[in-house]
Chains A and B, each alone.
Chain A
Amino acid sequence: MKIQNIVKYIREHTDADDFICSIREDNSHETRFAQNGITQHISGPKLQISLQLSFGTKSGSCRVNQADEATLGFLIKTATDIACLAPEDPEHMASSGPAELPRVENCAPATMNLQPKDMVDIVQKSIDKAIAMDAMVSGMCEKHLVKSWLFTKNGFEGSNESSSFGHSMTLKKGEVETKVSYEAKDYAPFNLEEEFSRLSSQATALASMQDFDAQKIAVILRPEALQELIWYMSWMMNRRQSDEGFTAFTGQLGQQFMGEKFSLYSTLKQKSLSASPYSPEGLPSRETTWIENGLLKNMPANRYWAQKVGCNPLHIFNLYIPGGESTEEEMMKMVPRGLIINRFWYIRTVDMKAGELTGMTRDGVLYFEDGKVRHAVNNLRFNEIPHDMTRRILALGTEKLASPAMIVPTALIDSFNFVDKTSF
């Protein structure tokens, strides 16, 4: 059944006071390889039709994955039955009405045209290159095409079409393990030669590892590392949770809460960034300044909380951290000694109120001193507070697309708090 017919069927077969219907079609191809062979290889379409119905302030929702009339009938009946049995919700909000949505190009022709054979060729070449250097490579080559729609009884209509391509490679040669990954909406800029060259360079740099104890020390966080910390921090940056006293952001709105070198935006202007034109609530995406030169200007708030406290409802649809001019070589000369971190792993919240996270380094840590890389070191555990960390930013480097929805620079940060180390 076509999308318009699904919506028409739902409109004609429910007497609910309100509804929100979202539909999503996925088409993916995923080739997973490990130790120089393919271990998983997956392809197929997916469909999700979600319906939230409301009678007064009582709501229920249901999701199905087939679009025949019998299933749609089940969808409507189930959501209706749940709504009728649900209690009145004091926080109920009527669905969004018509809205002017930004025009966003989230789909890249090169990604759409990529064929399974092309992807297997990429995997084969990756393996060939690893074998040529007597190493093992593991990774994932994936392509996703997603179409989504959102309709409400009150007249909101939105749609979005997006593509993404990813290719990651973890190389193991002897005791050295390191990784590079490309993830973007557009396959066109992907260059396997460059990616593997970066991987090979990282592996070479890590060849001589020396034992290193946990301590507070300056770090150069490469974009893949910084993005993970900022993603967790942005998750804690919730207006309601803050207003209710549960996070470190409580009482900080309008304050110089972060370091002056740190700004954070959601933006439609960066063409390489993916950006849904609307939120799941039907809020149009628009230019949003979250943090500007350390000043906390806005926090995400859903429609209910926004009307309760009298602020604009806002949502994060991507994240952009502007960078600076410093190169890694220049950063290494700004501090006597420090570490270069490729990425982090297994980050978890230690203390929500304090905003404290823990996690470990992964895929290579380099020690530098007197402006030069000296040797690799073992992996380390950190316990760190990202918003506090932004006050210790000494310099920012060139920004980079770290994932389809995040542009992040390299950052030099003082006194990063490492608390433990691994045996490797």
Chain B
Amino acid sequence: MKYLDLAMNAASSLGAEYADIRIQKTTDQVIFLRNLSLKSAHTSVLDGYGIRVFKEGAWGFAHNNVFSDEAVLATVQKAFDIATLSASVNKKKKLRLAPERSYIATWKTPVRIDPFDVPLSEKVDLMMEVNRTMLAFDGIKQAVFYMIMHKDEKLFASTLGTRLDITHQFIDPMIIATAIHDGDSQSRTFDEGGRAVGWEWIQNLNLIDKAKQIAEEALIKVKSESLGPETRRTLILDPNHLGLTMHESVGHPTELDRVLGWEADFAGVSFATPEKLKNFRYGSEIVNFVGDNTLAEGLATHGFDDDGVPGQKWHIIKDGILNEYGSTRDTAMEIDLGYSRGCNRATYYYDQPINRIPNLYLLPGTQPLTPSELIADTEDGVYIQGRGSFSIDQHRVNFQFGGDFFWEIKNGKLIRPLKKVLYKSCNPEFWNSCDAICDERFWRPFGVVNCGKGQPSQTARMTHGSAPARFRNIRVGGSQ
């Protein structure tokens, strides 16, 4: 597209030390069905471009939705002027950019059936059937189906000579059954998170069966008992629960911008400071976390980030030791890393990219171990599936998580369902208490599509994953 060269030439002529342009068209389709009433069938198309100029150790970013030579040139000028203003403040604190080569590449999420090509009626028919299936259960008072289909089409050019053509897309289906019984109301959710795949995934999910299962489990949950007072117990956590736990307690603390204090005013900082690299015991020896923006079907697998840095795979925690961060071209140089791990991502065209969690997952155990064997080996504990309430402090140390479905374990058996279970722990205690992880046969991804961060707020996506894992001596109890 001619605007790429126009913008980059203009930025260079003005004196930018570095500049890039990201022309981005974001298409969303959101369908929301509640109790057989279609609350929303909505398509959104946002198309525009953002231009970054780096000058004298400072950024300027300007965006526009008008596509014309005049508008592009005016936007370059605005980004340059803003960078100049920023530089006037940054005289004693100049940012630097990690070296990067140029790339000319095309990247596209592999999909067999593009969800945007599937007729709305086919989607709504499926969702209505799922809704009807849940409402057929006596006691289910609310049936919700919420589905997002998302596509980003990006053209990226930089003054390094990089030219990228990237199409990334994902689907995220979520089904919720809410039961009312004896003055209480409890929900059970089918939520495997988002996945960078086509409609074929939805076709293979057997959502009608899933709807029956969660309706039954919502009824079990609402009639179940609370756990009672908090005591130290063993936890076994399912991958679709652990996804959020690792997101909050490992993903965010190892974003380098937080480590540097760049999020101090809003999202917070990190306890995992640079002097801890290569020596801090974050978890037990079986805990290995990998950042992997090459992961198949991963929500952060884009080919390249919004710095024009290719997707990479690296250990963030290796054998329990803090190994490295997720970084961007500007944050990497603050700790003299010399290279970026390609974690700079923006949500929409009008967002300046920021340091984001990559696809981040816990490697499976190396010894054969099934979930059944793990439960059979546990005397007194709680097995948690699904996402619930989650809250963590701004240093990413102390946290409290709930879940979606709970079973009490006694003497190696699941003896009774529970509700309103919470556990409290902290870093590094929690990951050091991990004493068993099931093997790779039981590893499952979990895609987060709503990671809020930054000012102005942005929503990023990334895929986590794990096999079921066990944690000893955690404070577990019922809510208030």
Contacts and interface: CB of A to CB of B under 8 A. Distances in A.
Interface of A: 28, 30-48, 59-66, 74, 78-79, 81-83, 85-87, 89-91, 116-117, 120, 123-124, 127, 136, 138-140, 142, 168-170, 172, 177, 179, 244-247, 345-354, 356, 358-360, 362, 379, 381, 383-385, 417, 419-424
A350 B402 contact: yes
Contact of A420 (B83, B185, B424): B424
Contact of B185 (A74, A353, A417, A421): A353
A346 B36 CA distance: 33
Interface in B242-268: 257, 260-266, 268
B100 interface: no
Given A36-B93, A346-B392, A138 B398 contact: no
A65 B59 contact: no
A70 B107 CA distance: 28
Interface stretch (B116-124, B273-281, B431-439): B116-124
A247 B265 CA distance: 33
Given A61-B40, A381-B391, 17 more contacts: A32-B455, A35-B93, A35-B260, A42-B350, A44-B78, A60-B42, A62-B43, A66-B66, A86-B124, A116-B82, A120-B88, A140-B265, A168-B266, A247-B185, A346-B393, A353-B184, A383-B480
Nearest to B334: A35
Interface in B58-73: 58-66
Contacts of B63: 42-44, 46
20 contacts: A30-B455, A35-B93, A35-B260, A35-B262, A38-B86, A39-B59, A40-B354, A42-B456, A43-B78, A66-B66, A83-B41, A244-B142, A246-B142, A350-B402, A350-B480, A356-B480, A360-B393, A381-B391, A383-B480, A417-B480
Contacts of A30: 455-456
Contact of B93 (A37, A40, A91, A346): A37
B15 to A, nearest CB: 17
B420 A45 contact: no
Interface of B: 36-48, 50, 58-66, 75, 78, 81-83, 85-86, 88-90, 92-93, 95, 119-121, 124, 128, 141-142, 178, 180, 184-187, 257, 260-266, 268, 330, 350, 352, 354, 389-395, 397-398, 400, 402, 420, 422, 424, 426, 455-456, 479-480
Nearest to A38: B86
A66 B47 contact: yes
Contacts of A356: 479-480
A348 B389 contact: yes
B261 A35 contact: yes
B264 A120 contact: no
B400 A74 contact: no
B352 A42 contact: yes
A90 B41 contact: no
Contacts of A89: 37-38
Nearest to B230: A419
Nearest to B49: A44
Interface of B is mostly: mixed
Nearest 10 Cβ contacts at the A-B interface: A37-B93, A44-B63, A138-B264, A170-B265, A63-B44, A34-B262, A38-B86, A85-B120, A138-B265, A353-B185
A41 B59 contact: yes
Given A168-B265, A352-B185, A353-B186, A41 B455 contact: no
A246 B176 CA distance: 13
B85 A117 contact: yes
A124 B89 contact: yes
Contacts of B480: 350-351, 354, 356, 383-385, 417
A345 B128 CA distance: 38
A351 B62 CA distance: 42
A43 B60 CA distance: 8
Nearest to B51: A44
Nearest to B419: A351
Contact of B61 (A43, A65, A139): A43
A224 B461 CA distance: 30
Contact of B86 (A41, A46, A61, A87): A41
A90 B480 CA distance: 39
Contacts of B260: 34-35
Contacts of A138: 261-265
A116 B65 contact: no
A246 B187 CA distance: 10
Contacts of B141: 244-246
A362 B394 contact: yes
A44 B62 CA distance: 6
A124 B50 CA distance: 25
A379 B65 contact: no
Interface centre among A64, A65, A169 (most CB of B within 10 A): A65
A123 B85 CA distance: 11
Contacts of A78: 43
A97 to B, nearest CB: 22
A91 B257 CA distance: 46
A381 B398 contact: yes
A247 B186 CA distance: 10
Contacts of B456: 28, 30, 42, 142
B119 to A, nearest CB: 6
A42 B124 contact: no
B389 to A, nearest CB: 5
